[in-house]
Chains A and B, each alone.
Chain A
Amino acid sequence: MITADEGVRTGKVTLDTQLASRTGTESPPMTEQHTVKMQSRNLDFYYGANHALKSVDFDIVTNAVTALIGPSGCGKTTFLRSLNRMNDQIPGVRITGSILLDGTNIYDTGIDVTALRRRVGMVFQKSNPFPKTIYENVAFGLRIAGVRDRHVLDDAVEQSLRQAALWDEVSGDLEKSALQLSGGQQQRLCIARALAVKPEVLLMDEPASALDPISTAKIEELIEDLKTRYTIVIVTHNMQQAARIAQFTGFFYMGELIEYGPTAKIFTTPSEKKTEDYVTGRFG
């Protein structure tokens, strides 16, 4: 949780951004304590005839947790998956506008999508470890990147599992099948697997929605730890979760970004009526 004071300070950022987009000028630089890692500009997304995202402008702050909330089908997951071009796989998709990662448009022609995905990792709603050993799961990303050195792999596996707070539970038997782990452990393994390739941004699509409260608490703790080193974007249906772990929150509705700002502001003094209705549980 961040204090209301912080909220007001950081709120200025969003306000400035919104003002800028209204007047059509380039957004002013962020205040010194917040640099922008990724930003979308005029992002329109179509699944065939379905206009799934409508002119979304979004700034993702470096080394912070940004939550995307909104009712089902509002476009938050679509937006998340646009950030590392996972939607490229789906036929009939059309995207206009831009998403910048450190100032480079990731939808430019000539962008190496595999390199992008190594920089912008992803954790899915349903834990999806490969039917391989724990070790091979974590080492997968490095292996396909061409790492052969056993020492490098060993170190990376240990470090990633430690970062994902799973090392103490599995260090005794890394050759065990990943599918023998519990649901919560599997999800942390997936996080370790994503961390092993040393991404800069970590996208999480409802990573705790299929887990019990204890496992969920562990994942949230983990996110809290990770945010010092990674920029995290998380889609969640659980508004308490967003309030607990995110510094910034964006509210999507019907493909539009209705409101974006510091979490405290979104949950206590939202400027849009729709946001207020949603966060107070009047619809959604």
Chain B
Amino acid sequence: MTTDTAVLPARSAPAPAGRSLYGRRTSRLWRLLSPLPLATGFLTLCVVAMLVIILWNIVAGGIGGLTWEFLTQAPSQGMTEGGIFPAIFGTVFLVVLMTIAVIPLGVATAIYMRHYARPDSRMARLVRVAVNNLAGVPSIVFGLFGLGFFVQFLGKGIDTAFFAGDLAFGQPAIIWASLTLAVLTLPVVIVATEEAMRAIPRDYLEASYALGATRWQTIRSVVLPNSMTGILTGGILAVSRGAGEVAPIMFTGAAYFLPYLPTKLNDQFMELGYHVYVLSTQSPNVEETLPLLYSTVLVLLLLTFALNLLAVLIRIRIRSRQVR
């Protein structure tokens, strides 16, 4: 009998005072819950409204300056005129290099964690802790790390070893900026890949092993094809994140203004996010650069969307080719 009253909600049978802890808590919870749909609806609207306002502001301010010349020319007249082509080129170059670096490294780490390391081994736990903490480090710290490790240590080391101390790689360059971004986005790729690999049924692996496949053959012909969409999702997230970061590339390769396009790995480069920062804080005439600034932000947004869209399309293609 006592258990019955405890289970019943307070509404149907008000239990005697002092014993109806459960029931009272339910009713209090209920009162708290009832405006919840309203509140969530309102908050959702707020989020949508904010997005719309931001997008509207950028589009309205930037669409006018979005001409063919703006997209294909270099800045001129102290950045108050001309276009942003070098920044677009630099951003794409940077993101491509970053992807080339981060996908193999992230996927290899995920394969190691999932298929080679014993889950409770010291190495596996160390990597796990490192990945989790890497994701929480502020991006400016990555910038400083990139400067210290890639530029000063690796770059200078390469110079001493291969260029007789001449300055070649021991300076900020696109390779170091992209590697810094790769470190920043590494956790995203690792987590997405591991998640995809975890979803592969154990049956597939057993079937492969039972047919005489080695571990590596199983990974190559069963694990990787079946986690391709997850890997690409990780790639999408990494690209979106990487394309918009400014802090990690400030010290490691991005340039205020360059009269030429980066063609070598140790060239400096212009980048859209950094260009926005430059236009809005470093310009001698902020009033005049404002339209350019809006258009640049719009291009940055469009470029990120386009890169995302491309990755989504690749994903859909792979999925449709993959029979189900």
Contacts and interface: CB of A to CB of B under 8 A. Distances in A.
Interface of A: 84, 86, 89, 91, 114-118, 121-122, 124, 126, 128-133, 140-141, 143-145, 176-180, 190, 193-194, 197
Given A126-B203, A131-B322, A179-B324, A140 B221 contact: yes
A144 B209 CA distance: 11
Contact of A177 (B118, B217, B221, B323): B323
B213 interface: yes
B208 interface: yes
B323 A84 contact: no
Nearest to B220: A144
B229 to A, nearest CB: 12
Interface string B310-322: 0000000000001
Contacts of A178: 323
B13 interface: no
9 contacts: A86-B206, A117-B210, A117-B212, A118-B211, A131-B226, A133-B323, A143-B221, A144-B208, A197-B211
Contacts of A176: 323
B201 interface: yes
The binding surface of chain B is classed by DSSP as helix
A140 B211 contact: yes
Given A91-B118, A115-B212, A128-B201, 15 more contacts: A86-B206, A86-B210, A114-B213, A118-B211, A128-B203, A130-B204, A130-B207, A131-B323, A131-B324, A140-B211, A141-B213, A144-B211, A144-B214, A177-B324, A179-B323
Interface in B118-156: 118
A98 to B, nearest CB: 21
Contacts of A89: 206, 209
A196 to B, nearest CB: 8
Q: Sorted from nearest, which 5 A-B pairs have the closest CB atoms?
A: A177-B323, A128-B203, A118-B212, A141-B211, A122-B210
Nearest to A140: B211
A194 B206 CA distance: 12
B222 interface: yes
Contact of B212 (A133, A145, A180, A190): A145
Nearest to B118: A91
B221 A124 contact: no
Contacts of A194: 210-211
B209 to A, nearest CB: 7
Given A130-B204, A144-B221, A177-B324, A84 B210 contact: yes
**Could you say which of B118, B212, B221 has the most chain A C-beta atoms within 10 Å of its C-beta?**
B212
Interface in B203-260: 203-204, 206-214, 217, 221-222, 226
Nearest to B201: A128
A57 B208 CA distance: 29
Contacts, number: 72
Contact of B204 (A84, A128, A143, A180): A128
B222 A117 contact: no
B151 to A, nearest CB: 43
A129 B206 CA distance: 11
Contacts of B221: 140, 143-144
B324 A140 contact: no
A141 B206 contact: no
Tell me which of A130, A177, A180, A197 has the highest count of chain B C-beta atoms within 10 A of its own C-beta: A130
Contacts of B226: 131
B66 to A, nearest CB: 44
A117 B211 contact: yes
Contacts of A118: 211-212
A114 B324 contact: no
A130 B214 contact: no
A197 B213 CA distance: 11
Most buried by B among A128, A177, A178: A128
Contact of B206 (A128, A140, A193): A128
Given A130-B222, A131-B322, A144 B210 contact: no
A117 B324 CA distance: 27
Nearest to B200: A131
Contacts of A133: 323
Nearest to A118: B212
Nearest to B222: A130
Contacts of A180: 323
B207 A144 contact: no
Contacts of A179: 323-324
Given A86-B206, A131-B226, A144 B213 contact: yes
B211 A193 contact: yes
Contacts of B214: 114, 144
A130 B213 CA distance: 14
Contacts of B203: 124, 126, 128
A128 B204 CA distance: 6
Contacts of B209: 86, 89, 117
A80 to B, nearest CB: 11
A87 to B, nearest CB: 11
A91 B206 CA distance: 15
Nearest to A123: B210
A170 to B, nearest CB: 14
Most buried by A among B118, B209, B210, B214: B210
Given A114-B213, A179-B324, A197-B212, A190 B206 contact: no
A116 B210 CA distance: 9
A100 B118 CA distance: 30
A197 B211 CA distance: 7
Nearest to A137: B207
